[in-house]
């Protein structure tokens, strides 16, 4: 198959690299596209979109390939694959970065930290910038510097018609609003321009672990600690087993434990003060908080969520951390069979909550804590093992039902979370507004292999 004007790589089923090229982060996803168009630049994306439209092919768009639902790859259609477009160029004087649509967060952190700068990104360095940003983008820096979308200044977008537009506060502001939370529904983003902030390069960061038996006590303490935390302090609670990371003493590996991972985006001495009470609470199994290069901290969890393992996620926004909510979390968090399964709770608030709800399509600004329940099993493990693991995640979510706030983070939805949950992610008003922008930019729903917003 040939595409007029396309200078990247075309990979079809008879190609030696086909199986590698169609694989995404979640090894449980096994789809067979007709063609993978690995683009070298914006012109290739234009050519691929036009080709797909002319030939009536379904389109999937691949950034970092990390979406748990595997929407970066489709059966039969074409994958517009940006994985070769990973450049991140920094303007240190202007404190901005131009980032290509296939970059990973590790690419961005590396380029920006060379100048002592950073912007809010995800907590695993091999996650894609594009999908994460277009859904909102939560991470350790968000309480100080806002979500990834709050730092987005402009985007270059290839539209469903194969045109190129720039979206910013001044140009196509309706599209710019929708791109900041509405996902991959509106076009292919070939370049993002982010604002950057001085961060580190050394920050006070790391996890503190306590035994699983202490979970309820730790969470009750954490509820008040997090509520009073300065904006500089980002925390994520991880409930599962202690991962076998080099920094963790070996005798603790595999032990059920609750961890609070901290990252203080300010002076190290201020960070010491901000986390002191947490580190002194109860009897930690191990305290790994220390002055650390920010970019190293950002890749510290990479090995706990490897490419090719099998994953299934369930997610919810929480009404808060009441004693009852904590009891449900403590009861279910350690019920998985696999040592790799875990749940993570992100502490939101700070700058995220101060931006008006209707400023962007991202709709979870008033939520203080959300949770994502991650069932993980290995490719060789049995279907029965997989069923046990996914049942745990579903049971856990079901038990949280009375404690769920409106909405859910769209980037945490899995393939069995249907259109109802996509609508739930935005709420009615934002969804209706997204649907109008969808009609303006993609009336035929050419970009539907995603958390789909229907034209309307
Ligand atoms: P892909 O699978 O490549 O793409 C997902 C969808 O995004 C595509 O179907 C498409 O619709 C759209 N898309 C991708 N690239 C483009 C593009 N260039 N233009 C237009 N549309 C595009 N989320 C957070 O907010 N914070 C976190 O800390 C975080 N941590 C994570 C850690 C791991 C290990 C994983 C697997 C996910 C994490 N997530 C996090 C969720 C993450 O935001 C989503 O998985 C997101 O979809 C990943 O983006 P991607 O580019 O890798 O996805």
Q: What are phi and psi of 16, to 5 degrees?
A: -60, -30
For ligand 1, the distance from its centroid to the CA atom of residue 64, given in whole angstroms, is 6
Residue-level pLDDT, tens digit, the chain, 456 residues? 799 999 999 999 999 999 999 999 999 999 999 999 999 999 999 999 999 999 999 999 999 999 999 999 999 999 999 999 999 999 999 999 999 999 999 999 999 999 999 999 999 999 999 999 999 999 999 999 999 999 999 999 999 999 999 999 999 999 999 999 999 999 999 999 999 999 999 999 999 999 999 999 999 999 999 999 999 999 999 999 999 999 999 999 999 999 999 999 999 999 999 999 999 999 999 999 999 999 999 999 999 999 999 999 999 999 999 999 999 999 999 999 999 999 999 999 999 999 999 999 999 999 999 999 999 999 999 999 999 999 999 999 999 999 999 999 999 999 999 999 999 999 999 999 999 999 999 999 999 999 999 998
Q: Which residues pair with 203 in a beta bridge?
A: 292
| Three-state SS at 388 | helix
Which of 22, 41, 66, 186 is the best mutation target for the ligand 1 pocket, counting ligand atoms within 8 Å of the beta carbon and taking the most?
66
Which pTM was predicted? 0.98
Which of 41, 42, 69, 122 is the best mutation target for the ligand 1 pocket, counting ligand atoms within 8 Å of the beta carbon and taking the most?
122
Q: Where are the beta strands (DSSP E) in 222-325?
A: 233-241, 256-264, 286-287, 290-293, 310-318
Kindly give the number of the ligand 1 atom that is closest to the alpha carbon of 101: 18
In angstroms, the CA 326 to CA 221 distance is 11
Residue 213 burial (CB count, 10 A): 13
pLDDT confidence of residue 165: 98
Is the CB of 310 inside a 6 Å radius of any atom of ligand 1? no
- Paired sense of beta strands 78-81 and 35-38, if any: parallel
Which of 128, 309, 345 is the best mutation target for the ligand 1 pocket, counting ligand atoms within 8 Å of the beta carbon and taking the most?
128
For ligand 1, the distance from its centroid to the CA atom of residue 6, given in whole angstroms, is 25
For ligand 1, the distance from its centroid to the CA atom of residue 250, given in whole angstroms, is 32
Nearest CA to ligand 1 atom 42: 132
Nearest CA to ligand 1 atom 38: 127
User: pLDDT by residue (tens digit) across 173-215?
Assistant: 999 999 999 999 999 999 999 999 999 999 999 999 999 999 9
Is the CB of 138 inside a 6 Å radius of any atom of ligand 1? yes
Q: Which residues contact 70 (CB under 8 A, 6 or more apart)?
A: 24, 26, 28, 29, 31, 415
Domains of the chain by start residue, with CATH: 9-81 (3.30.43.10), 88-199 (3.30.465.10), 202-412 (3.40.462.20)
């Amino acid at each position: 198959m040939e595409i007029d004007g396309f200078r990247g790589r075309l990979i079809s089923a008879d190609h030696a690299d086909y199986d590698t090229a169609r694989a995404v982060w979640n090894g449980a996803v096994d789809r067979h596209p007709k063609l993978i168009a690995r683009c070298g630049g914006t012109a290739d994306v234009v050519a691929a979109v036009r080709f797909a439209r002319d030939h009536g092919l379904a389109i999937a768009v691949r950034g970092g390939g990390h979406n748990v639902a595997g929407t970066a790859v489709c059966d039969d259609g074409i994958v517009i694959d940006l994985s070769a477009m990973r450049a991140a160029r920094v303007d240190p004087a202007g404190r901005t970065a131009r980032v290509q649509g296939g970059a990973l967060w590790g690419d961005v952190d590396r380029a920006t930290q060379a100048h002592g700068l950073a912007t809010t990104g995800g907590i695993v360095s091999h996650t894609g910038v594009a999908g994460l940003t277009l859904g909102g983008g939560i991470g350790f820096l968000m309480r100080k510097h806002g979500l990834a979308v709050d730092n987005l200044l402009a985007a270059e977008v290839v539209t469903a018609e194969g045109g190129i537009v720039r979206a910013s506060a001044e140009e196509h502001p309706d599209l710019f609003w929708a791109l900041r939370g509405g996902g991959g529904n509106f076009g292919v983003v070939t370049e993002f321009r982010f604002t950057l902030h001085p961060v580190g390069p050394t920050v006070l960061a790391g996890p503190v672990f306590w035994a699983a038996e202490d979970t309820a006590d730790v969470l009750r303490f954490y509820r008040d600690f997090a509520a009073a935390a300065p904006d500089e302090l980002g925390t994520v609670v991880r409930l599962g087993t202690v991962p076998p990371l080099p920094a963790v003493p070996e005798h603790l590996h595999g032990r059920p434990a609750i961890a609070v991972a901290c990252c203080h985006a300010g002076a190290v001495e201020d960070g010491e003060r901000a986390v002191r009470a947490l580190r002194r609470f109860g009897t930690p199994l191990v305290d790994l908080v220390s002055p650390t290069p920010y970019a190293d901290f950002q890749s510290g969890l990479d090995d706990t969520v490897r490419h090719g393992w099998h994953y299934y996620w369930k997610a919810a926004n929480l009404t808060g951390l009441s004693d009852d909510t904590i009891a449900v979390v403590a009861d279910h968090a350690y019920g998985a069979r696999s040592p790799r399964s875990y749940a993570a709770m992100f502490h939101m608030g700070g700058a995220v909550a101060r931006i008006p709800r209707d400023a962007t399509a991202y709709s979870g600004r008033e939520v203080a804590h959300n949770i994502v329940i991650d069932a993980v099993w290995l490719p060789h493990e049995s279907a029965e093992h997989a069923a046990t693991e996914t049942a745990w995640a579903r049971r856990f979510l079901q038990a949280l039902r009375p404690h769920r706030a409106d909405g859910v983070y769209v980037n945490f939805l899995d393939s069995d979370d249907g259109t109802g949950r996509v609508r739930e992610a935005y709420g009615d008003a934002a969804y209706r507004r997204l649907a109008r922008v969808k009609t303006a930019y993609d009336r035929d729903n050419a970009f539907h292999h995603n958390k789909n917003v229907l034209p309307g």
